[in-house]
A and B are shown apart, each in its own frame.
Chain A
Amino acid sequence: MNSDIVLSITNATKRFGPVLALNDISLQARRGEVLALLGDNGAGKSTLIKCISGVHQIDEGQITIDGIATSIRSPVDARAAGIETVYQDLALFDNLTPAQNFYAGREIAGPSWLPLGLRFLNSRRMEAETARVLDRLKVILPSKEATVALMSGGQRQAVAVARASVFARKVVILDEPTAALGLREARKVLDLVAQLRAEGNAVILITHNMEHVTELASRAIVLRQGRKVGEIIPSKTNQQELVSMIVGA
């Protein structure tokens, strides 16, 4: 059981000036499960995942990955550690194609004796690999050569999730991935999340949608004002309990 723990956070604290955004948070994410991260606005959810994905750094506490204490100082560190993040704003480049988006910042290029920036792009390999992943995830796009500027909200979301899935080796974090989507497009994204889990990733899912929590998550952690106020196994019967934990009533 313990060997399933991929990511473990112990006693994490994060301050923004006088604001205590995270107060002594501990959590564990396990291989092949979806962990829901719940909480009201300003509870500290985004701050917590940004500390995991390297956008912020925790002030106190420890992050271990596969049992090894790891310091994550930048997004590059996080990605190198096998942690992929689908940000709430998607962090897609509108002016680039899906393949170019997939490999932005980690292009397949050579020859390796040249400085990174001067290497020549291997576009064919990046396109083929992207097409393969999109097929595997059953994502249908109007055209693989078109820039993502011309894609619908769900297609863009799918591209962002698929991008994370290419590189995710351990942990995938999704910050409100269905917030802006219609029913069908949301369903598609939820299927992708389930697939990421099936592939053995530890998935951390931030959402305000209780239906999605009960459907996908095997555990739910609730934050309130930077503190962890509960951890339960969500089911159809305890939704009410979850909601009152979130709002603190």
Chain B
Amino acid sequence: MTSTEEIKPAKAARNRESTGALSLWLNLLSVGPIAILVVLFVLLSLASPHFLTPRNLSNILAQTAVIAIVAMGQHLVILTRGIDLSVGSNLALATVTGALVYQATGSTILTILTMLASGAAVGAINGMVYVFGRLPHPFVITLATLSIAKGTALELADGRAIPGMPDAIRFLGGGAVLGIPASFFVVAGVALLLIVMARTMVWGRWIYAVGGRPEAAVRMGIPTRAVLISTYVIAGLCAGIGAVLLAGRTDAGSPLFGNLLELDTIAAVIIGGASFLGGRGHIGHALIGAVMIGVIRNALNLLNVDIFFQLIAIGIVIVLAVEADVLRTYLEGRVRTLRAARLQ
């Protein structure tokens, strides 16, 4: 704003045009992820005859479901400028505790509740230590719980997978209704609920406010701490739901599940177009990003590209997505400067 005086009024006419051009770029950036997804679909169906088959698409949906669920929780955390590195271990621990409870009780309900509670509990620890421990950033605590949850899961399961899940959980994770994976409906249900909460409820507005400007949120009387903790609890709960789906699909609980899930979910959120700078993005971004990662993985498999290269490819896509975010922030700054100049 200090530079506004430097821009001469003579340039006003040109400013008007360039604001239009800048706005166009901003709009392009905002539809970017969907456009890229569409292009990916077209290219891939040309590259491989197996890609656009109902069977493969249903496969993609099933494989994406866990990433999508957990990415939605991760998205809420990232909205508040946070990060949850523990989601993968959290999910693994939830499948293990669930499997143990199933072995001990044989109860479907108790098994599901255990997985959800285990996930939410780890999330609550993340949130409370972050807030009440007055940590500068959630990075460290979620890194710590990544290790703690993984260690606990390995210890509880003796380092091995625990086979056996009840029918209902196997159906949720691996079953299908009219050819559509059951897990898809779980994702859709959670997404719908979160969209309603984030878009239409006071709590959702508070999340965006806290993410947009934490100090201002405190001064405006928003219960910042409760809001922050709630996002970590929900992220943990989402890991718990992901645990139900994954345990169901594999008919087991395992301490080795969820490897690199933090990478996939953070990548999904960023690739989908939400901002690392906080307060921007919506559940749709997490979903688009998750599908994109699912599609990329699936395609590289179909095209016989090995798993090592897949990791490299996803890393590169993350860098591009973050750069797009930086570019968007820059463009917005230009628009603001030009608008101010026009008023002078």
Write the residues of chain A forming the contact surface with B, with a CB cutoff of 8 angstroms: 53, 55, 74-76, 79, 85, 87, 89, 91-96, 100, 104-107, 109, 116-121, 142, 149-155, 180-182, 184-185
Flag if B221 contacts A79 (CB, 8 Å). Answer: yes
Flag if A119 contacts B336 (CB, 8 Å). Answer: no
Contacts of A150 in B (CB 8 A): 332, 335-336, 339
Chain B residue at smallest Cβ distance from A91: B216
Flag if B219 contacts A107 (CB, 8 Å). Answer: no
Q: Provide 27 A-B residue pairs closer than 8 Å at the C-beta atoms, listed in order of the A residue.
A: A89-B215, A89-B216, A91-B216, A92-B213, A93-B209, A93-B216, A95-B280, A104-B205, A105-B221, A106-B221, A109-B202, A116-B202, A117-B230, A118-B201, A119-B202, A120-B200, A121-B200, A142-B339, A149-B336, A150-B335, A151-B336, A152-B343, A153-B1, A153-B340, A155-B339, A180-B1, A184-B344
Chain B residue at smallest Cβ distance from A108: B202
Flag if A74 contacts B213 (CB, 8 Å). Answer: no
Flag if A154 contacts B340 (CB, 8 Å). Answer: yes
- Smallest beta-carbon distance A112→chain B, Å: 12
B186-230 at interface with A (beta carbon < 8 Å): 200-203, 205-206, 208-209, 211-213, 215-223, 226-227, 230
Flag if A74 contacts B201 (CB, 8 Å). Answer: no
User: B202 contacts which of A74, A76, A107, A151 (Cβ < 8 Å)?
Assistant: A107
Flag if B209 contacts A104 (CB, 8 Å). Answer: yes
Q: How many residues of chain B are within 8 Å of chain A by beta carbon? A: 37
Q: Given the complex of chains A and B, what is the CA–CA distance between A85 and B218 in angstroms?
A: 13
Q: Given the complex of chains A and B, what is the CA–CA distance between A142 and B339 in angstroms?
A: 9
B5 at the interface (CB under 8 A from A): yes
Flag if B216 contacts A149 (CB, 8 Å). Answer: no
Q: Given the complex of chains A and B, what is the CA–CA distance between A176 and B321 in angstroms?
A: 39
Flag if A91 contacts B213 (CB, 8 Å). Answer: yes
Q: Given the complex of chains A and B, what is the CA–CA distance between A147 and B222 in angstroms?
A: 19
Given A92-B213, A118-B202, A118-B203, CB of A105 within 8 Å of CB of B220: yes
Flag if A184 contacts B343 (CB, 8 Å). Answer: yes
User: A185 contacts which of B217, B230, B278, B343 (Cβ < 8 Å)?
Assistant: B343
| Interface residues of B, dominant DSSP | helix
B2 at the interface (CB under 8 A from A): yes
Contacts of A117 in B (CB 8 A): 201-203, 206, 223, 226-227, 230
B4 at the interface (CB under 8 A from A): yes
Chain A residue at smallest Cβ distance from B207: A117
Q: Given the complex of chains A and B, what is the CA–CA distance between A76 and B222 in angstroms?
A: 9
Flag if B203 contacts A104 (CB, 8 Å). Answer: no
- Smallest beta-carbon distance B217→chain A, Å: 7
Q: Given the complex of chains A and B, what is the CA–CA distance between A186 and B223 in angstroms?
A: 33
Flag if B212 contacts A95 (CB, 8 Å). Answer: yes
Contacts of A181 in B (CB 8 A): 1
Q: Given the complex of chains A and B, what is the CA–CA distance between A92 and B219 in angstroms?
A: 10
- Smallest beta-carbon distance B235→chain A, Å: 17
- Smallest beta-carbon distance B198→chain A, Å: 11
- Smallest beta-carbon distance B340→chain A, Å: 3
Chain A residue at smallest Cβ distance from B224: A105
Flag if A105 contacts B344 (CB, 8 Å). Answer: no
B273 at the interface (CB under 8 A from A): no
Interface centre among A105, A182, A185 (most CB of B within 10 A): A105
Chain B residue at smallest Cβ distance from A152: B340
Contacts of B253 in A (CB 8 A): none
B279 at the interface (CB under 8 A from A): yes
B276-298 at interface with A (beta carbon < 8 Å): 278-280
- Smallest beta-carbon distance B92→chain A, Å: 31
Contacts of A180 in B (CB 8 A): 1-2
Flag if B220 contacts A104 (CB, 8 Å). Answer: yes
- Smallest beta-carbon distance A148→chain B, Å: 10
Contacts of B226 in A (CB 8 A): 117
Q: Given the complex of chains A and B, what is the CA–CA distance between A184 and B9 in angstroms?
A: 14
Chain B residue at smallest Cβ distance from A107: B202
Given A151-B339, A152-B1, A152-B340, CB of A92 within 8 Å of CB of B205: no
Contacts of A142 in B (CB 8 A): 339
Flag if B216 contacts A75 (CB, 8 Å). Answer: no
**B1-38 to A contact mask, C-beta < 8 Å, 1/0:** 11011000000000000000000000000000000000
Given A105-B217, A117-B206, A150-B336, CB of A182 within 8 Å of CB of B5: yes
- Smallest beta-carbon distance B78→chain A, Å: 13
- Smallest beta-carbon distance B333→chain A, Å: 9
Interface centre among B202, B206, B280 (most CB of A within 10 A): B202
Flag if A153 contacts B216 (CB, 8 Å). Answer: no
Contacts of B340 in A (CB 8 A): 152-154, 182
Q: What 9 pairs between A and B have smallest CB-CB spacing?
A: A152-B340, A105-B220, A153-B1, A91-B216, A95-B279, A117-B203, A95-B212, A93-B212, A76-B221
Chain B residue at smallest Cβ distance from A163: B220
**B222-244 to A contact mask, C-beta < 8 Å, 1/0:** 11001100100000000000000
Q: Given the complex of chains A and B, what is the CA–CA distance between A87 and B218 in angstroms?
A: 13
